[in-house]
Amino acid sequence: MGVPPLDRSRERGVTYTGRKGGGQLSAPRLRIDSPERAGLDPGELKHLVREVRALTGGADPWAAGLVLVAGRGPVIAVEEAAGWAVRYASYDQEAETGVELPPGTWVPATVDTPFDLASLTKLFTAVAAVQQLERGTLGIDARVGAYLPDFRAVVEHGLTVRQLLTHTSGLRPEVALYSCPDDRARLAMLRAEAPESEPGEYVYSDVNLLLLQHVLERVTGRTLDVLVRDGITRPLGMTATGFGPCPGAAATEDQRWPWAKADRGMLRGVVHDENAWALGGVAGHAGLFSTGRDLAVFCRTLLAGGSYGPARILGPDFVELMLTPPGLGFALDQAWFMGDLAGRGAAGHTGFTGTSLVLDPATDTFVVLLANTVHPRRRPADNGPRAAAGTWMARAVRGA
């Protein structure tokens, strides 16, 4: 049985004037209200909350701590925190278990706890890029070499901006920038990076967003952190979102060899990703910290066509461009982490540290799940809980 589309006339206060893609859109701000007011089944959402809370229980939980925010239209119907933002002091390799801090020093996760977003950062870089498309300073099918003529490999292979945004450049998944002795060597590595497979083939790659960061900084004359702050988080009032350091964030990993790529000890408030760390914490693929509430605002903005309250960060046409297959920056209809929300144009992303978000234009719903699954040590990803959250949300829409 399919998920019925939401009657958008229920969103009172939505107005749009002017030519398509060029006018102003006033969309209501998020508010906390009952599932019924959001057009969601309260019983199904209770199941969702119960299942998510259980993920932090036991001696070997899925995550030490987590935050869940979910809603429909302008209503946040679920905002829950469970477990611990900080639980472990280190990881014991011989015992293969976390070394817990004294119980009285554990830090509980709250709905206001920031988390290291990891690859959810890519979505903000993508929005910053599409903003430049809208302004005409960047071309979607322009060659990257036109903006970065000193990056000889991308010039030689004729890679395009679209290929970076859709992971079809053929570039390998990552490069070892963390192994370079200084910024000059890191830049030289990126300039020499050439595709390993035929451009046009999908290969998910952090390098795409690192190159896109350089393109954006070159065409605007501003650093990525400034572009994200001035173009996205500040106008939307996302005051808890930004590149680190973020001292109050949930802890991540006891980062040490041989399981990690750097020897840094237990991390809290500094970026987990080794390449982003090597770049000073600001990178196109990782580095942002945020809260569940702030990411709900981000999701709501895109669902409302690029506007939130009086702020407009993109026109509706350009939001549609981002969320139309194959998606620019966003993954579309991926059941492996979206569950039953996938199938009718749902968009989202996951992050290595345990983060994910899904927004579904067909049902006007969003689900944000922030967790520190790498605390105290990284392990193979288990996407089952992410997919289950999407499935419970889809059931809540169907049962309303």
Q: Give residue 268's identity as a one-letter amino acid code.
A: R
Cα–Cα distance, 51 to 151 (Å, whole number): 48
- Give the pLDDT of residue 353: 98
Confidence check: pLDDT of 207 > 90: yes
- Give the pLDDT of residue 12: 28
Cα–Cα distance, 251 to 274 (Å, whole number): 15
- Give the pLDDT of residue 179: 97
Mean pLDDT of the chain: 93
- Identify whether 253 is part of a domain: no
The SS3 call for residue 112 is coil
For 145-197, the DSSP string reads HHH-TT-HHHHHHT-BHHHHHTT-S---S---GGGSSSHHHHHHHHHT---SS
Q: Which residues contact residue 273 at a Cβ distance below 8 angstroms, ignoring those fewer than 6 apart? A: 118, 283, 285, 286, 287, 352
Q: Which residues contact residue 111 at a Cβ distance below 8 angstroms, ignoring those fewer than 6 apart? A: 67, 69, 79, 80, 81, 291, 292, 293
Cα–Cα distance, 116 to 242 (Å, whole number): 10
Confidence check: pLDDT of 379 > 50: yes
The SS3 call for residue 31 is strand
Q: Give residue 349's identity as a one-letter amino acid code.
A: H
Q: How many domains, in total, are found in the chain?
A: 1
Tokens of 384: 């089952």
* 241-266 average pLDDT score: 97
- Give the pLDDT of residue 399: 86
Band (27; pLDDT cuts 50, 70, 90)? confident
- Give the pLDDT of residue 6: 30
* CATH number of the domain residue 384 falls in: 3.40.710
Q: What angle do CA 137, 141, 147 make, to 5 degrees?
A: 50
- Identify whether 179 is part of a domain: no
Band (303; pLDDT cuts 50, 70, 90)? very high
- Identify whether 200 is part of a domain: no
Confidence check: pLDDT of 297 > 80: yes
- Give the pLDDT of residue 19: 30
Cα–Cα distance, 137 to 381 (Å, whole number): 38
Strand-by-strand arrangement of the 115-116 sheet:
115-116, 288-290, 242-243
Confidence check: pLDDT of 244 > 90: yes
- Identify whether 90 is part of a domain: yes
CB atoms inside a 10 Å sphere around CB 151: 21
Question: For residue 26, what are the domain limits?
Answer: 8-115+287-398
Tokens of 281: 């914490």
* 276-296 average pLDDT score: 98
* 27-38 average pLDDT score: 95
- Identify whether 306 is part of a domain: yes
Confidence check: pLDDT of 5 > 70: no
Low-confidence winner among 2-11, 80-89, 182-191, 321-330 (lowest mean pLDDT):
2-11
- Identify whether 21 is part of a domain: yes
Confidence check: pLDDT of 105 > 50: yes
| Inter-axis angle of helices 42-54 and 384-398, nearest 10 | 170
Confidence check: pLDDT of 334 > 60: yes
Q: What is the pLDDT of residues 336-368, one digit of tens each?
A: 999 999 999 999 999 999 999 999 999 999 999
Low-confidence winner among 107-111, 194-198, 387-391 (lowest mean pLDDT):
194-198
pTM over 0.85: yes
Confidence check: pLDDT of 53 > 80: yes
- Give the pLDDT of residue 327: 97
- CB under 8 Å, gap of 24 or more: what pairs does 252-260 form? 252/116, 252/353, 252/372, 252/374, 252/375, 253/91, 253/374, 253/375, 253/376, 253/377, 253/378, 254/88, 254/90, 254/91, 254/98, 254/376, 254/377, 256/91, 259/377, 259/378, 260/378
Q: Quick check: 52 and 385 in contact, CB under 8 A?
A: yes
Tokens 């288990």 appear where? Answer: 382
Band (2; pLDDT cuts 50, 70, 90)? very low
Confidence check: pLDDT of 190 > 70: yes
Cα–Cα distance, 255 to 275 (Å, whole number): 13
Q: How far is CA 180 from the centre of its chain?
A: 27
- Identify whether 141 is part of a domain: no
Q: What is the pLDDT of residues 127-184, one digit of tens each?
A: 999 999 999 999 999 999 999 999 999 999 999 999 999 999 999 999 999 999 999 9
- Give the pLDDT of residue 100: 97
**Integer CA distances (angstroms), 92 to 58, 95, 261, 270, in order:** 18, 5, 17, 22
Cα–Cα distance, 11 to 257 (Å, whole number): 52
- Identify whether 121 is part of a domain: no
